[in-house]
C-alpha cells in the first residue's frame, strides 16, 4: 500500500507553503529518513523526510503552493528494488503519518480524490482550476494514477486558448487571461515573490501603519570594547572554541538599558500596556531568502560565551534552512547590525508587537573632542526606533545613553553599574 507524503503542521499561523525544491527525482528509490523536499513558508523553510522506503511518485511540482495537510507525493514500499521500512507497533497502518494530525486540508484532498467524477487533484490545484474556469473532468492528469497537476491545468488552458485541443474543455465561467509580460529583449526579469518576501513586505507595512514609529540617535566610542576584545580573544577562543564578537556586548548592554527603561521592554495590547520582565532578544540575520529574527532566550542569565554560541547556532541553522518556527517567536526587543554590510546610519523599522529596535552601524575612525583635544576614535552610530505610543522621547534618549555607557565602559556589564 502506497504511503502518502503530506505537508505537516508547522505553526498555528502557517496554512500554506511552497515546494521550493524536490531533492529526489520522480520515480527514484528512497530510504526512510531521506530528505524529500524543502517546503518554504512565509516564516521558515523546512525539509520533509521520507517516513518509509520505496519508490517516490511526485504529485505536485516545484514552485507550487500547497496547503498544510495536502498530499504532494506517494511512496510505494512494494515496488521493485524498494526496502520497506519496519512497521512501528504504534502505527495504525502503513500509510499513516503519526506525527501529523488530521487537517481540514487533507480531508479536502481525500474528498477530491474520491469525488463522483473520479478526479484526483490536490486542493490547491482544484482552487487554481476554479479560478481559471477549468472543468477538471475534462483534464487528463499526467501524475500517478491520473493525478492532475497544476501543469496539466495550465496545459489544458493553453490548448483551449490556441484552439488546438483534441478534446472539449468545458469552461464554467469566463477564464481570466493574463496579458503576456514582455521582457523588452531581456531588459528586466519578472519573478514571483517568495512567501517569506511577501510576509516581510506585509509585516513592514503593517508596522508602519499600526505604530507611531520615531527614531533617536547617538554614537558610542568603541575603543574600550575593541581593546577588551583584543586582550581576551585568544583566551576566550581557547576556552570556549568560539570568537568573542561585538554582538554579545551589545546584547548585554541592551539588557541593562531595558532594565533601566522598562517601557522599551513593553508592548501595547488593545487598551492595555504590557511590561515584560524577561529579556529574550531578537537578532536580525540576513539570509538568501530574506531577513529573519531568531530570538536568544534569557539574555540576562546567559554568559558572553553562551550568547556567542547561540548566535553561531542560529547563523548555521539559517544558512542550512533549518530555522524552526519556535526560534522566531517571543522576542521583546530586536538588534539589527547593518554595520556588517557597511551601513553608516539608518532608521530601523519595528518588529511588532515589540516597542523598540536598536540599529548598529559600521565602525569608523572619526575625529572627536576628548578632554579639550581632537583625537581619532573608532566610533559607531546607534539608532533606536521605538513606538512613541508607549515610549516617550526622554525614555528613548535615556535608553541610548545607558547603552552607550555600558559599551564605552564595558566593565559596567560585569558589576551592573
Q: Which residues have a catalytic role annotated?
A: 388, 392
Alpha carbons within 13 angstroms on the beta-carbon side of residue 87 total 11
Secondary element (H or E) of residue 202: helix 195-210
Are 264 and 284 spatial neighbours (Cβ–Cβ below 8 Å)? Answer: no
Pairing of strands 295-296, 281-283: antiparallel
The answer to whether 296 and 302 are in contact (CB under 8 A) is yes
Cβ(293)–Cβ(318) under 8 Å?
no
Q: Residue 206 in 3-state DSSP?
A: helix
- 3 state SS of 47: strand
The verdict on whether omega for the bond into residue 378 sits within 30 degrees of 0, i.e. cis, is no
* Rounded CA separation 218/225 (Å): 17
Q: In terms of C-beta distances under 8 Å and separation of at least 24 residues, what long-range contacts does 58-62 make, across chains too? A: 58/22, 58/26, 58/143, 59/122, 59/143, 59/144, 59/147, 59/149, 60/19, 60/122, 60/124, 60/125, 60/149, 60/150, 61/19, 61/149, 61/150, 61/151, 62/19, 62/20, 62/21, 62/22
Amino acid at each position: 500500500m502506497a504511503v502518502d507524503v503530506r505537508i505537516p503542521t508547522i505553526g498555528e499561523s502557517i496554512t500554506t507553503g511552497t515546494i521550493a525544491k524536490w531533492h529526489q527525482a520522480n520515480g527514484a528509490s528512497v530510504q526512510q529518513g531521506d530528505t524529500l523536499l524543502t517546503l518554504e513558508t512565509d516564516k521558515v523553510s523546512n525539509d520533509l523526510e521520507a517516513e518509509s522506503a520505496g519508490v517516490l511518485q511526485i504529485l505536485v511540482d516545484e514552485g507550487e503552493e500547497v496547503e498544510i495537510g495536502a498530499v504532494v507525493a506517494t511512496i510505494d514500499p512494494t515496488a521493485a528494488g524498494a526496502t520497506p521500512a519496519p512497521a512501528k507497533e504504534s502505527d495504525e497502518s502503513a500509510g499513516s503519518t503519526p506525527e501529523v494530525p488530521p487537517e481540514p486540508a487533507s480531508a479536502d484532498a481525500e474528498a477530491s480524490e474520491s469525488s463522483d467524477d473520479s478526479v484526483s487533484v490536490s486542493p490547491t490545484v482544484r482552487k487554481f482550476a476554479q479560478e481559471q474556469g477549468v472543468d477538471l473532468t475534462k483534464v487528463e492528469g499526467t501524475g500517478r494514477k491520473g493525478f492532475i497537476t497544476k501543469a496539466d491545468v495550465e496545459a489544458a488552458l493553453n490548448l483551449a486558448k490556441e484552439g488546438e485541443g483534441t478534446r472539449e474543455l468545458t469552461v464554467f465561467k469566463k477564464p481570466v487571461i493574463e496579458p503576456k509580460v514582455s521582457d523588452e529583449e531581456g531588459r528586466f526579469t519578472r519573478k514571483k515573490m517568495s512567501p517569506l518576501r511577501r510576509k516581510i513586505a506585509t509585516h513592514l507595512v503593517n508596522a508602519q501603519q499600526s505604530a507611531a514609529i520615531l527614531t533617536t540617535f547617538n554614537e558610542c566610542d568603541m575603543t574600550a570594547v575593541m581593546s577588551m576584545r583584543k586582550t581576551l580573544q585568544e583566551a576566550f577562543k581557547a576556552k570556549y572554541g568560539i570568537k568573542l564578537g561585538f554582538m554579545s556586548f551589545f546584547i548585554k548592554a541592551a539588557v541593562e538599558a531595558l532594565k533601566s527603561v522598562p517601557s522599551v521592554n513593553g508592548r501595547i495590547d488593545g487598551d492595555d500596556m504590557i511590561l515584560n520582565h524577561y529579556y529574550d532578544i531578537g537578532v536580525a540575520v540576513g539570509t538568501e531568502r530574506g531577513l529573519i529574527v531568531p530570538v536568544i532566550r534569557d539574555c540576562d542569565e546567559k554568559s558572553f560565551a553562551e550568547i556567542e554560541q547561540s548566535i553561531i547556532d542560529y547563523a548555521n541553522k539559517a544558512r542550512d534552512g533549518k530555522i524552526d518556527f519556535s526560534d522566531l517567536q517571543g522576542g521583546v526587543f530586536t538588534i539589527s547590525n547593518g554595520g556588517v554590510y557597511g551601513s553608516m546610519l539608518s532608521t530601523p523599522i519595528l518588529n511588532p508587537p515589540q516597542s523598540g529596535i536598536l540599529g548598529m552601524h559600521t565602525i569608523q575612525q572619526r575625529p572627536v573632542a576628548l578632554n579639550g583635544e581632537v583625537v581619532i576614535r573608532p566610533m559607531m552610530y546607534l539608532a533606536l526606533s521605538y513606538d512613541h505610543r508607549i515610549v516617550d522621547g526622554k525614555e528613548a534618549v535615556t535608553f541610548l545613553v545607558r547603552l552607550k555607557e555600558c559599551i564605552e565602559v564595558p566593565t559596567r556589564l560585569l558589576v551592573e553599574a
